[in-house]
Amino acid sequence: MDISTLEPRLAILRHCDAAKVVVLEVNESQPWVPGGYDEVIHISEVDYIVENNKYKIPEIPPEMSTELDERIAEHIVNLIEDEATIQLGIGATPNAVGSLIARSGLKGLGIHTEMFTEGMIDLIEAGVVTCRKKTLHPGKAVHAFALGSRRLYDFMDHNSMLAGFPVDYTNNPQIIAQNRRQVAINNAIRVDLTGQICSESAGFRHISGTGVT
């Protein structure tokens, strides 16, 4: 069955429904982010609650771009059209792309991404990203998770423009394909002559994990 034809609530089993024991951690340093569906559960569905008042969520400053990153970004931005829906990965090159898009004059962009990044704040605040022209979830910046600075978390907190979904929804090719002019911008370590891409390791050095689809 094609799950893209179903309502998200019916198409994907909630993770809490699949778990035998539900344990929640409460952390005041974490932003409250609106979800696309099933972002809240009733207290009666919870078995245990852990109140974490000691350890804050990790904060990572944006990676600085080099001149080479900026030159690569120039080629990428020239391929993006008005009203496109974009996905940005993590790293200096996607950061450079985001910064250049904010100054490019592009209009009406949307966001459908796995990771919500620091550079996306700049795009939204600059008015380049509005999400109003998206064919799927118009008006919403769709994402699965975020990792960044305190500025990023504060921006996300109770921001009604954002919609957090499970990764098996945001990364589902059938879901992604419903976005008109979807553009994915990611880093790769090596590309061979057949088009195969390596983004996980260099030799025996493990760098990243496998994306979920």
DSSP codes of every residue in 42-94 = -GGG-SEEEEE-S-PPP--PPPPP-HHHHHHHHHHHTT--TT-EEEE-SSHHH
Could you tell me the residue range of the domain that residue 75 belongs to? 67-187
Q: Are residues 142 and 179 in the same domain?
A: yes
CA distance 169 to 213: 9
Q: What is the CATH number of the domain that holds 85?
A: 3.30.750.70
Q: Are residues 118 and 75 in the same domain?
A: yes
Q: Are residues 48 and 128 in the same domain?
A: no
Task: Provide mean pLDDT across the span 193-211.
Answer: 77
Q: Is the pLDDT of residue 154 over 70?
A: yes
* Digit-coded pLDDT (tens) for 20-30: 898 989 898 99
Domain count, the chain: 2
Q: Is the pLDDT of residue 56 over 50?
A: yes
Q: Are residues 115 and 36 in the same domain?
A: no
Helix 118-125 with 92-102: angle, nearest 10 deg:
0
CA distance 31 to 34: 10
Q: Is the pTM of this model over 0.75?
A: yes
Task: Provide mean pLDDT across the span 183-188.
Answer: 83
Choice between 98 and 85, residue whose per-residue pLDDT is larger: 85
Q: Are residues 86 and 179 in the same domain?
A: yes
pLDDT attached to residue 210: 60
Residue 20 lies in a domain: yes
Q: Is the pLDDT of residue 212 over 50?
A: no
Residue 161 lies in a domain: yes
Q: Any bridge partners for residue 205, and if so which?
A: 202
Q: Is the pLDDT of residue 10 over 60?
A: no
Q: Is the pLDDT of residue 8 over 60?
A: no
pLDDT attached to residue 7: 45
Task: Provide mean pLDDT across the span 50-75.
Answer: 86
Residue 85 — pLDDT band, cuts 50, 70, 90?
very high
Choice between 189 and 120, residue whose per-residue pLDDT is larger: 120
Residue 14 lies in a domain: yes
Q: Are residues 81 and 182 in the same domain?
A: yes
Residue 59 lies in a domain: no
CA distance 115 to 109: 17
Task: Provide mean pLDDT across the span 148-167.
Answer: 93
Spell out the residues 6+ positions from residue 42 whose beta carbon is closer than 8 angstroms to its own.
none
CA distance 4 to 107: 28
Task: Provide mean pLDDT across the span 173-179.
Answer: 92
pLDDT attached to residue 70: 85
Residue 158 lies in a domain: yes
Q: Is the pLDDT of residue 15 over 70?
A: no
Q: Which two tokens stand for residue 211?
A: 């994306």
Residues noted as catalytic: 114
Q: How far is the first Cα of the chain from the last one, in angstroms, to the nearest whole number?
A: 17
DSSP codes of every residue in 145-176 = EE---HHHHHHHTT-TTEEE--HHHHT-HHHH
Cα angle for residues 128, 211, 109 (degrees, 5° grid) = 10
Q: What are 163-166's contacts with CB under 8 Å, separation 24+?
A: 163/34, 163/35, 163/36, 163/137, 164/33, 164/34, 164/35, 164/36, 164/39, 165/8, 165/35, 165/36, 165/37, 166/12, 166/15
pLDDT attached to residue 211: 55
